[in-house]
Each structure stands twice: as structure tokens, then as C-alpha cells.
Structure 1
């Protein structure tokens, strides 16, 4: 059993780790331990109760509570803040009961005065050393509550140590940059206030010790996690004056409120976290394995090589032009042809048409069926771009329903990219989108949908809402999940991609609905190496769509551009009608190579060999779970400051006692030899190589 109930409390054990908490002498639910699994259940520390009675420093403030509510003698960042219509603005939680069902533990806490019930959920994923946490808050009293903050989890680190926070920052065209901060007394906050996950930060963290005890790629203690949510979120990493480090993660409480009438409940999104002694790489592989096996909709999906028409045609799409692109794509070995923006009613540029999701009669007088049939006859599947949450003021939908967008009465409605955001908190908007997109999918043989979101929110108002309009931040995401989820139920074979101007909505919440993400609009291959490295900290290559395009074609070889994109789900986005025949033939060769190795890229364990953010030479390796085979990608970018031409690559993740061959090198060596001694590799500027590794 992964969940143990003992006189000291509860212990959650995975294959290699343990997480323990219990009730202390004051009746508070407190954290006890998070780290390597110990030999005996009696080895874990007892629930702690401080005996401090110094002025301004009281036992409740020093307690490391599992879920700390605002109230009493507590002054650190709370996990819960509630106001009752009775006038009470604090919360006093007492333990009531626990329940264990296989790998799931639930604990019930209650504030008897106001009738607030809080249920803490813990689900153990033993194989990947991960723990899921979420919270259900219920109003069991007679007064109305206003929920002002409710985090999904509060994670505590071993005390009296200094930690370093690794997180992902960025902006449009420059997402998933790795950033590290040494935490000092106070609170470090990262968040999104954009209505989406955002390009600026991602709801993901890694923590390791600062200084001499710091972790590295392949070894060291790392505590890590993420939030499965696709809207506003918040992470607070706090170091108290008593050198206690804690990290809260959940919905962003900025401009948020949720009204709980008597009998009503509210459930938070899921937070996922784990611990490893195998460094940052070990943390990433655990998250990758979990997302592949437990999260994405199609667990055994063969992700197809796709062509996307956007960079070739922009909005100038029609049957003839798309058919010509499809013919060339098919000869290159493309498996999925995706028509991007410009196909729907009134869409000649980005100033009109959003909201009217039916084929434009001028561009496609006979509808999409002739193009779909053409693509299918060439042996490819057909995909389509949509942006359902948006509307142009110049559209039939907006003219009929201007009240359906976010706005404040009397305020100017700010457009971005000439568009406004539909209020998906409204059920009538949800129903409209479900009906329209269901009709589109029912009438056409569409295998793939790219769902985009190309602006951040402004004027977040909902004048017609009878309750607190601050609920819209959550209701929009819930509405998105309902629309997308309903369409998935009706069309289960369709593969969905999440996109928001690139990586603005790539998160574990979306991966319950979408099998892959478009992680950046930047297709510069040199820049992509760093973007892809940051993405790989949290999310697997099987979810990362990457394109080889015409961006930088005068600087980067076609092979280099392809090799970078082959580190994820390969796509092609260049204007292939303009490619010379020799480039098309080379592309066909590279696509064939990718098809031969993609099972390793998508299903294997990722090992980061050399970082593109730290050196001109970088490399990644994907190893099959049975260690029978692997593939290595090696890249060189700019000239170094010296004349070195050859670099040594040391492999990772092989069976040390088995023997392997490495493509391009004579003879077989033990896995241990390839990992300890490696091999020399000569690379010119902006040159790349792909090497197969095979056990014999």
C-alpha cells in the first residue's frame, strides 16, 4: 500500500520517496517529512509543536501546516482565505476524519463556527515518485462565503537550509527560458494574470539546495512540481524568519473571488509534485513519464509528421493553392496536412471573420470537402486551425451578440490583433461553440485541430452576471474545458493541439485535452534549442510540436533546421512550393529518418547531454525504456572564442553492462564506456548530427 496510517499520522510512500504529516499536540495538521523513503515507518519524525512563547513568535506561526488557513497567530502566506457573510474573516480548521482507498488519501477539516468544510486529497503515483494534491471547499453552514484564496497545495522543504528556485520565464517568441533564484527571507511570487497560462511564466517549479549542496543535471536533491491549470495561477515561494521554506501553488487570488452559497462546493485544480536524488534530469523524466502515461488523451498515439500552410500562404488560402501544397507535402512523406488561418467566412485578413466558423464561400464555393478529399487521396490526414474563444468586431457573431465579449459598461473595448475575447463563462457561448464546431467536425473528415488563442485579456467584466464577476477568471477556464471536453467526447479520434501565440497555454491542464502543444511562434532553430530545453524541464517531447521552416534559411542548413525540429513532434512550415527539388528530396530523407527514430523521441527517456544556454555545443539523448536503443542529437551554434573543433560527448541512461554500437564509430563498447569515456565529435558552425545507438 502506498498510503500508511500510523499513530503519528500518515505516510505516503512511492518507489523511492516518502511524504509524511500528522496531527500535533495542538490539533494542527502539520508536515513531517519529504525525501528519500526510510526503511521503517517508525523512522519518520513525529508531528512537531513549537514551545516558543517569545513575543511576536507563537507556536501556530512556527507550525508547518499542511494547509494553512488565514487566522489566529499565523502571519505567513496562507493557503486559504475566506470571508463569511456573518462578518468572520478568519478560519480555524480542526481535523475531523481520514479515508484511504488504495492510492488515494482524503482528510476532512472543519471550521465549526462558520460551517466551512475543507477536504484535502492526496493521490500517490508510486512508479513515478509523484503525489497529486487538490482541495475541495464546501459551505456546510447557513451563511454565504466569499472565497478569496484557495491554493491546491502547500509544499514544505527540509528546514534550516537555503534553497534555489528554478522556474521558466519568457515572452512571446522567447518562451521557456530557464531562470534560477536563490531564495532569501520573504516571498518570491511568479504568476499569470492574463486569463491564460501566459508566455511570461509557466506553473512549474524545481527547488534544490543553494551553494555546496546544489543539484546538477544528473545528481542531487530536487523537489519539483507543477499545476494542471490553464488560466490565472500563482506560486509563492516563501522563506520565513525561522528559515522554513514553503511553496504554495494554485489559482491566482489577484482579482479573484468565488461565492459559496450554503451547500455549495468548490474544487481546485490538481497540483503535482515529487522528489528525486537524480538531479534535474531525474525530475524531468518523472514528469514526462507521468504525462505520457496518465495525462494526455491518446496514450499510444503515433504523432504524425505534419505540414502547416501558415507561413506559405498566410490568409490567402483556396482550394487550388492548398492542393498544390498538399501534393508536394505528400511526395516528401508528410502524414498530416493542416490548413491554418484564413479558411472561414469573411476571413481575408486578421480584421474580420473570427467567430464565424464555416467555410468562406468565395474561397471554397463547394465547402471544404473537395480539399479534404484531395488531401485524403494523397494518403494524408487533414487538419484545421481554429481560434474559438475570439471574435472580430467585423463578424456576424459580434454583430448579433456584442454582449458576449468581456467588457465593462461604458468602457472602450480594447482590441488586440483586431479581436476581442468571448466570455466562455457563459453557457450560451459554450453551447454556441460546441454546436458550431461539432457541425464542422461532423461534416468533414478532420483528424487534427490546432486551437489558438492570440491575445491577453482586457476589460475583464461580465455585466450580466448575477454573482461576483471576479469568478470569470475560473469560469472561463471551466467553460473552455467543457467545450473542448464535449467535442473530444463526440469526436474521440481527433487529435487536438493547444496553442496561444506559441507557448502561451502549454500546461498540464491542457494536456488532459490536447495531445501536443505549439510551444513558440519562434522557429529560429538556434533560439529554439534554448526554448526546447526549458520546455523539456517539465513536459515530454511527445507533446512538443516543432517546425522546420524558412526562418533563417540563409544561415542554417535544411538539415540543421530539421534536426532541431526532430527533437519533438516534427512539423514543416516553410513555403515548400518555393523549395528547389534538391531541398524537397533532402526533406524526404530527413522525414524518413525521423519516422525511424520518433518512437525513441516520443516514448523514450530524455537525457540532456549539454546545455545550449551554457555552451556553443549542445546535445540531447532519447533512450528506450528497455535501454535497447537510443538516439543522440548534437548541435553546434556560434563560433567559440577559441579554435576548438572537436567536443567529447558522454552518453547517459545506457545499461552499463550491455554492449552498444554508436553510428559513425567502429566497434562496440560497454554502456559504461560510452557513458564514462564517450566519443569525440567534430562539428562546424551551425552543423548538427543525429546518431543511433544500438545494443548488441
Structure 2
């Protein structure tokens, strides 16, 4: 046997080339499987690949023991030294099906997370149908010191459910409670169960039901695995037991045939590259795992000034104009945004239509009724106030009643069974078509070069369904290739306008994946209109998006009290402030509280990109009574504590994990007669006089 080992300051991987030339992944960071028997190591394959017409040796419907995935044999490998890590490539081959597979493992110096992907090439003379190919395959996850069937009770799976206005809602349960169990006969002759824990996403909202992430924590070994799938559309991952029921498998991938309607024909000489994914194992709990993932997300993100400076954005939509902008009603909001210290002012949806606009969008020309002096005058007014102007756009759709809808050919749009796909009164553009990309180029050019915007809120409110039939091997193939074409188009826009900030929005957070967020600097996390529930989402948003990319609304109500304003501001003050609301209609005292929050935020905001998220109370969910979220830096914490609905006025937050508390200050609001706090044994004890209160603290650690 021959070993392949690669490591950086933070990540380590080791593979064994077995006697039959199969490649086994025997070590991933702290998870060491080198002591397994030779028979068990045969299960530690690194790629699942199922080709149409080949035998599938699985039990049930899981995607394990594929062909030729299980038969691939070592051909070569290479380790490339990079400026901030290493890239390991392992090439395997199967002579029966004439495929060559290359696995890529990108290790970084400053994160335990490894980025992985796979290419498959048809080296034969006949077409090959690809039904499934993993981006990352590992057997023996989280089992370094916990072999045998205990893994079903010792391992806790964290699954981030994602819904419109209820994003990043993590559910935790043991694998046994999730339905994965082992089978044995009196402890002898264990067998695989045929069950899998399967998490999927279909269509073009990458986060329509789940965020493309997961965590698995072994409470026996104190080891946690964490992963994400970097797909703008469909994806799949599953956990299942191995051949003998004693090893746990994880398989991460983009779309595949069984769950996602994806199938790819590979002609002789052609290659296919999978969706990139990220995986790591660390010592510690869910929080330690998410901190490593936060570091990784920062490493793969396009460098930009927006994520360094964290400017405050005012957007006229949420609990304010709600899609009804006019030249007249924008001016007092612009004045108020300038007064409280905002940096950007964004005119949201509706600027392009005289009235109801949902099913008529697509031309993206300003309404003369709404802006009788031209939208350029309002944009210039924004600039004259020292703010950067922005406009809302939804570039991937054409309304069914748009003036241009029936002038465009069908090959501009998603098609199935010979018909245009209609979703919520809109057609969906296909960015594989060069004419579509040229059209989108002209729209962006008009906004930036003619109107003078420096910020685009790029929204996305419909979905494609399973895909399109035009020029595709399957519906899912059409969707995947469209997504990749859109990303290339987005790259070209950023290359053309390097200072342009484009916010990623999909009805809020319905596609906060890192295919998008390695490009976009800012993510609209939610459309939640209830400020209490918005707090719940704000506190967990940084579990799926870096804090400096996670934009959370703060929208003081026209009729409210001081505590409602404070709660709104605290929601956004440890992420990105997305200010909104009718600020021009607030009384002076409540407006001063908004300005105070922004002023305090500006004293530390440039630290946020270097700090790591913490959740002392765990990952909260909607309507929890008490919850907290913070940022940990060098010998300091910034901590937000919320009290939602409920009758319990006192709460304790243990901070022992983060160091010894030397001092603590309430930094927002500065003046306060309604809350009390003290510290005992590195535990923060707070007393809020009533429900619906929030406070922000700065803590110095020894």
C-alpha cells in the first residue's frame, strides 16, 4: 500500500492506495481511519459515479456503491503549492467503461474546511450517460474513536430548514431520530439498513426548502463535521450506513437523476465538472464547525471594498413604500437617510411602472408618471446628499404582459414539453442564450452609465421548476447549464464595473448559496416583516452567510415606542444594516435612537469581517423567548441579547467558553433605565423589564 498525504496549517488529508489500486480516504483532519481492516478500507471510496446501463450495487435508493465509482483505480496524483494552501489532485480510471476521473481537494492554511470537486472524462469511443457523480464522498464520517452502531445515537444532525420569511431555521436530532438505524441479529452479522437521510433542493431557488449546509456532531468523540454545497440551483446530499452497517457515509453533490431530474450525456472526449462543495471535520461543537466554515467562506469570496467597510444601506421598501416609489415620496426619505448617517440609498421595486407591475416587468425603463422629471433627477438628489444611489432589478424574468414578451422568440425562455414555463405570471430567461446575455448587459449598462447608480438590488422572485428542455440532455442539465451561464455573466458585470455593489436577493434569502455569494458582497437575508421574528432570523443568519454579507432589515414603525426602535436596530447591528421604515414620520426622539445605533455601529463595523460568530444560547428558532448572538475577536466580544415574547424577565448567558470576562459595557442604547445586567462566574445575567427588548454589549476578555 502507498500513502498520499497533504496538509496545511489547518487541514490534513491522507489516502491509501490499496493492493487492488482502489483509493481510500483514511484521514480527514482529526478523523483517523487508518486502523480499519483491509476489508473496511475497501468501502472508503472517494468518488461515486453511476453510468447508465451499469450495475448499481446499493441497497434501496441510496447513492452508494455505484458503478464504475466502486471500481475506479489509481492512476496518478499531484500536490500543487499555492500562496494560501495546497491543491491535491488524484486521477483514477476504469478500463471497462473508459472513464478518467480527477478529484480535486483544495486545502487552505487558515481554515479546516476543504473545497472539493470532480471532473469525469469519457476516454472511450461511445457516449456515456452520467446519472450521478459525487463532488465529495466519504465513508467513516465522525467515527475516528466511535466505531460500530453507536454512531446513530451519538451523532446529532443539524439541518437548516429554509422558508420564505423563516430562513436558516436549524433543526437538531440524532441520526436514529432522523430515521437512520442499523440492523443486526443479536449483535452479529450487521447489515446496511437501506435507509438514507436525504436532503435535496430542486428548481432555481437554491434554498427553497433547506440551506445547502449541514452539521453532524458526535457527542461521544466531541467531533463535528460541517459542509456546504455551492450550487445556485438543484443539489443533493445524503447520509447512509455502509455495507456492513458499521460505517457512516456522506455524499455531497450537485443535481443527480433520481432526486433532481439531471442526466448528462458525455460524448467521446468530453468532460464534465461537478458542483463545488466544502467539507471539514473539527474538534468541538456546532459553533466551532461554523466558525471554520465562516473562515472558509471569506477565503473563497471575491475581494471587495464593500465587505471591508460595511456601508449602511437605506432601502425604501420594507415597512415603508413597499413598491410604490415616486419622486415626491422619495425625497423626505432621502433627507432622513442622510440625517441619520446612511451611506447608500436604494429605490426598490416599482420605479419602472405606472401602477401594478408584477406581470409587466422586463423593459426596465423608468415610469414617467412616478418620476416626471426623470429618474436621473432623483438619483442626482441622492448623490447631492452624499449617498450612493441604487435601484432594484430582477433581470432573469419577463412578465407575461410585458410589452416585449410576445416579441421575443421561445429560445430566450425556459421551455418544457414545447411550452414556455410560466411561474407567478412571469417567463424565465435562459442565460445560455447569448442574445439574453446581451439584453441583460444593456439593462445594467443603462442603470450604471446613464442613470448613475452604484448599487443594484438584484432580486429573484420566481423559480424555473425542474429545468428546461432546449439544447439539454435532461431538464436538470438545462437548469444547471443556465445557472453556470448566469454566473459567468455576473462575473463579466463585476469585471466591467468593479466598484458596483450588487446585492443578492431572492425573495429575501431564498438563494443564499456560495455559488452566488463568492461573487456578491451582500445578501438580503429575509423578507420578514415582523421585527420580533426578524430578530430570530438575524441571530442565525451568520450561520449560513458571513456576518459582513448578511443584510438584516431595521424598520422602525410609524407607531411604536423606544423599545421597538432599539429591538429593530439591535437586529442589524452585528451584521449589515439594511435600514428602512418611514424615518421621516418618526418623532425626533425615536429618530435619534436610529441615528445612535448607526453611530455606534460605525465605531466597530470594520472589525466585523475579522470576527467569528458565536451563539451562547445555541441556534435559536422563530418565536424563541430568549436568544443571543455575538462576534468574537481578539480579547473581545460584541454580544446581542434579545427577549421576544414571554413572561420570564431574567436570563443567563454563559460566556465561559470564550474566556474570562474582564469588563462589560452596554453600548446600545447608551442611556437605559429599563434593563439591568451583571456578571458572575463568566455568566452574563440580564433583567429586562418587559418583553420585546434587546440590548447590545461590548465585553473585554482576559
Q: TM-score if structure 2 supplies the norm length?
A: 0.85
Q: What is the CA-CA distance between 1:335 and the residue it aligns to? A: 1.0
Partner of 1:343: 351
Unaligned runs of 5+ in 2: 182-194, 671-677
Match of 1:649 among 645, 650, 653: 653
Partner of 1:172: 164
Unaligned runs of 5+ in 1: 1-6, 39-43, 51-58, 83-88, 215-219, 666-672
Count of matched residue positions in the alignment of Structure 1 and Structure 2: 647
Q: Does 1:151 align with 2:134?
A: yes
Partner of 1:376: 383
Q: Does 1:129 align with 2:99?
A: no
Q: TM-score if structure 1 supplies the norm length?
A: 0.86
Q: Does 1:364 align with 2:371?
A: yes
Q: Does 1:501 align with 2:507?
A: yes
Secondary structure at 2:507 match in 1: coil
Deviation digits for residues 30-76 of structure 1 (CA, Å, limit 9, x no counterpart): 121234288xxxxx7267531xxxxxxxx89x612111334668326
Partner of 1:401: 408
Instruction: Supply the distance in 1 between the matched residues of 2:89 and 2:46 (Cα, whole angstroms).
Output: 13
Partner of 2:204: 195
Q: What is the CA-CA distance between 1:513 and the residue it aligns to? A: 1.3
Instruction: Supply the distance in 2 between the matched residues of 1:456 and 1:384 (Cα, whole angstroms).
Output: 22
Match of 1:461 among 457, 463, 468: 468
Residues 229 and 458 (structure 1), Cα distance of their counterparts in 2 relative to 1, 3 Å cut = closer
Range 600-609 or range 589-598, more displaced: 600-609
Partner of 1:386: 393
Secondary structure at 2:506 match in 1: coil
Residues 294 and 91 (structure 1), Cα distance of their counterparts in 2 relative to 1, 3 Å cut = closer
Secondary structure at 2:250 match in 1: strand
Q: Does 1:620 align with 2:629?
A: yes
Deviation digits for residues 93-132 of structure 1 (CA, Å, limit 9, x no counterpart): 2211111112111011112233211100011113211111
Q: What is the CA-CA distance between 1:553 and the residue it aligns to? A: 5.8
Q: What is the CA-CA distance between 1:435 and the residue it aligns to? A: 3.0
Q: What is the CA-CA distance between 1:447 and the residue it aligns to? A: 1.9
CA contact (8 A) 1:120 1:134 kept: yes
Partner of 2:582: 575
Q: What is the CA-CA distance between 1:694 and the residue it aligns to? A: 4.0
Q: What is the CA-CA distance between 1:647 and the residue it aligns to? A: 2.9
Residues 653 and 428 (structure 1), Cα distance of their counterparts in 2 relative to 1, 3 Å cut = farther
Match of 1:65 among 20, 45, 49: 45
Partner of 1:424: 431
Residues 80 and 506 (structure 1), Cα distance of their counterparts in 2 relative to 1, 3 Å cut = farther
Range 489-498 or range 593-602, more displaced: 593-602
Range 420-429 or range 120-129, more displaced: 420-429
Secondary structure at 1:577 match in 2: helix
Secondary structure at 1:213 match in 2: coil
Match of 2:535 among 519, 529, 539: 529
Q: What is the CA-CA distance between 1:16 and the residue it aligns to? A: 5.2
Instruction: Supply the distance in 1 between the matched residues of 2:521 and 2:271 (Cα, whole angstroms).
Output: 30
Paired residues for 1:244-643 under 5 Å? 244-253=247-256, 254-298=260-304, 301-311=308-318, 312-344=320-352, 346=353, 348-403=355-410, 404-409=412-417, 411=419, 413-416=421-424, 418-458=425-465, 460-463=467-470, 465=471, 468-550=474-556, 554=560, 557-611=564-618, 612-613=620-621, 616-624=625-633, 626-627=634-635, 629-640=636-647
Match of 2:101 among 118, 121, 140: 118
Range 365-374 or range 486-495, more displaced: 365-374
Residues 347 and 192 (structure 1), Cα distance of their counterparts in 2 relative to 1, 3 Å cut = farther
Instruction: Supply the distance in 2 between the matched residues of 1:138 and 1:482 (Cα, whole angstroms).
Output: 22
Partner of 2:190: none
Note the aligned Cα RMSD (angstroms).
2.9
Residues 459 and 250 (structure 1), Cα distance of their counterparts in 2 relative to 1, 3 Å cut = closer
Instruction: Supply the distance in 2 between the matched residues of 1:410 and 1:28 (Cα, whole angstroms).
Output: 46
Instruction: Supply the distance in 2 between the matched residues of 1:257 and 1:466 (Cα, whole angstroms).
Output: 9
Range 256-265 or range 198-207, more displaced: 256-265
